[in-house]
Amino acid sequence: MTRKRFFVCLLGFASSLAVSGQQKQATPPAENEQEPPEEDESVAPEKFPLDPLESDRNVRVGNYYWRKGNYRAALQRYERATKYNPSSADAFFKVGEAEEKLKNKDAAKTAFQRVIQISPDSKTAHEAKKKLGEKT
């Protein structure tokens, strides 16, 4: 009888191992083990590398809108120009003029001050000082 009990126990142990192995396989992988979804390029913030040519192009397009009387569109282009070339006194001067036309005096003042900061001895800075009412 002892041999019979031994084989019954052995058979029970083997069947319990088989059942537990099946349960492990049926468990879905944890959520944190999945790969993250790809980032959507359309929602990524726009990058503005230093590009003086792109800055000049945006100023020219802004000038087109300025001549048409669309000061809001011109301002948007001038602001893009300053992002592509943050050391462009001309672009900041244009931003200041557009802000003046749109009656945003504080923003215009900030833009003219930036012109003076970037290029203090230039003709553009002289014009910005006139706009700010400073003595030259």
Q: Tokens representing 106?
A: 């504080």
Asked, for residue 11, whether it belongs to a domain, the answer is no
Q: In the structure encoding, which two tokens stand for residue 43, read together?
A: 């929602």
Compute the C-alpha angle 55/60/64, nearest 5°.
145
Q: Between these two residues, 93 and 28, which has the higher pLDDT value?
A: 93
Identify whether 21 is part of a domain. Answer: no
This prediction has a pTM of 0.68
Residue 111 placed within a domain: yes
Question: Considering the domain boundaries, does residue 29 fall inside one?
Answer: no
- The residue-averaged pLDDT of 73-102 equals 97
Does residue 23 sit within a domain?
no
For residue 42, the model assigns a pLDDT of 75
Instruction: Read off the DSSP letter of residue 34.
Output: S
Q: For residue 127, what are the domain limits?
A: 52-132
Whole-angstrom distance, CA of residue 107 vs CA of residue 100: 8
Rounded CA gap, 36 and 95, in Å? Answer: 42
With H, G, I as helix, E, B as strand and everything else as coil, classify residue 49. Answer: coil
- Burial, 109: exposed, middle or buried (Cβ in 10 Å; 0-12, 13-18, 19+)? middle
> Is 127 among the domain residues?
yes
- The answer to the question of residue 24 being in a domain is no
The tokens describing 110, both together, are 């900030």
Is 77's pLDDT higher than 90? yes
In tens, the pLDDT along 91-100 reads: 999 999 999 9
CATH number at residue 76: 1.25.40.10
pLDDT in tens, 41-72: 777 788 999 999 999 999 999 999 999 999 99
Number of structural domains found in the chain: 1
Is residue 34 a part of any domain in this protein? no
Report residue 22's pLDDT band, with 50, 70 and 90 as the boundaries.
low
